[in-house]
């Protein structure tokens, strides 16, 4: 059974959705944002940063806040760092809600989240929608960013399967951002995965890959958070085809997925779906448990 109720959480007026295993908190006074995620009544797995801001030279600074947000790429301050400081409209839906951000007057793009909590399992489906209400076509790529508390380890899987029958073509690709030191002690690279250790004391790093495997995960203490999204190999992605990305600095670690690049005509929208799963210790999916265990051996 899904329960919904209003609640003050982390200083925000929120709508709380919960079943017997999982609770999520959706902000009402700003957003669209999911600011909290808790398994079995435990601590918030998401980081909350009430004072963190991204400076914007030509406009209002962007409030980072924490939690889960919807952006769109390519990353440009004038279109990416548009504030989400206004109240949102929330409509109840089957097993969840739809959250509508006010239309941005500069771009004509409206952000909409459809959040559905599974009746019984610790699983959430999030459909990210970008709708062009403007009068001109707009090219973008949906970009879903989940900010987690530091102190754990994130894993980005890599495919081992061949892309051709003879094994002559490349089958793995990594993208590094300019501020990333690939010699960092917080990066561990193996044939089947990359680990990002969220225990930095300075600097930042970011890594991405075309993720045919379709999941990225974060281990925090005894809890595992998994994000699943579909990769479309026949379509164009930003950031050197990096459909999955991990960003880390001392304050947070972000698990990010992107949808393909699209050009939205006026009135058109694009959808990008994620499935979130949260597991307690001992219940992790075998493939993910095996990969983490490989890095510990």
Q: Which residue has the higher pLDDT, 180 or 2?
A: 180
- Amino acid 296: pLDDT: 65
Domain count, the chain: 1
pLDDT at site 215: 97
pLDDT at 45: 98
Answer whether 0.85 is exceeded by the pTM: yes
Which tens digits make up the pLDDT trace of 229-245?
Answer: 999 999 999 999 999 99
Average pLDDT over residues 117-136: 96
What CATH code is carried by the domain that includes residue 181?
A: 2.70.98.10
Per-residue model confidence as pLDDT tens digits over 18-55: 999 999 999 999 999 999 999 999 999 999 999 999 99
**pLDDT of res. 297:** 47
The C-alpha angle with vertex 285 and arms to 18 and 66, in degrees rounded to 5, equals 45
Mean pLDDT of the chain: 95
User: What percent of the chain is predicted at pLDDT more than 90?
Assistant: 89
Domain that holds residue 53: 3-296
CA distances, 159 to each of 100, 172, 196, 201, 218 (Å): 37, 7, 17, 31, 18
H or E element at residue 274:
strand 269-279
**pLDDT above 90 for 168:** yes
User: Average pLDDT in the 161-169 region?
Assistant: 92
């Amino acid at each position: 059974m899904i329960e919904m109720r209003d609640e003050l959480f982390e200083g925000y007026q929120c709508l709380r959705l919960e079943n017997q295993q999982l609770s999520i908190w959706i902000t009402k006074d700003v957003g669209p944002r999911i600011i909290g995620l808790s398994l079995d009544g435990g601590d918030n797995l998401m980081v909350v940063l009430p004072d963190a801001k991204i400076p914007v030279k030509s406009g209002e600074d962007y409030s980072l806040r924490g939690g889960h947000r919807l952006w769109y790429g390519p990353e440009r301050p004038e279109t990416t760092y548009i504030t989400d400081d206004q109240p949102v409209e929330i409509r109840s839906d089957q097993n969840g809600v739809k959250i509508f951000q006010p239309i941005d007057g500069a771009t004509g793009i409206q952000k909409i989240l459809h959040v559905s909590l599974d009746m019984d399992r610790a699983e959430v489906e999030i459909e990210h929608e970008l709708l062009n209400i403007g009068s001109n076509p707009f090219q973008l790529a949906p970009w879903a960013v989940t900010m987690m508390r530091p102190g754990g380890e994130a894993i980005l899987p890599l495919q081992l399967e061949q892309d051709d029958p003879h094994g002559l073509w490349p089958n793995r690709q990594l993208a590094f951002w300019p501020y990333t030191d690939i010699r960092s002690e917080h990066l561990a690279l193996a044939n089947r995965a990359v680990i990002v250790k969220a225990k930095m004391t300075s600097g930042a790093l970011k890594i991405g890959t075309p993720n045919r495997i379709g999941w990225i995960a974060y281990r925090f203490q005894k809890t595992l958070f998994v994000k699943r999204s579909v990769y479309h190999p026949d379509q164009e992605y930003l950031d050197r085809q990096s459909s999955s990305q991990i960003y880390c600095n001392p304050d947070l670690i972000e698990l990010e997925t992107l949808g393909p690049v699209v050009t939205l005509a006026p009135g058109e929208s694009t959808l990008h779906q994620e499935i979130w799963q949260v597991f307690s210790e001992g219940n992790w999916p075998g493939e993910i448990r095996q990969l983490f265990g490989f890095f510990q051996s």
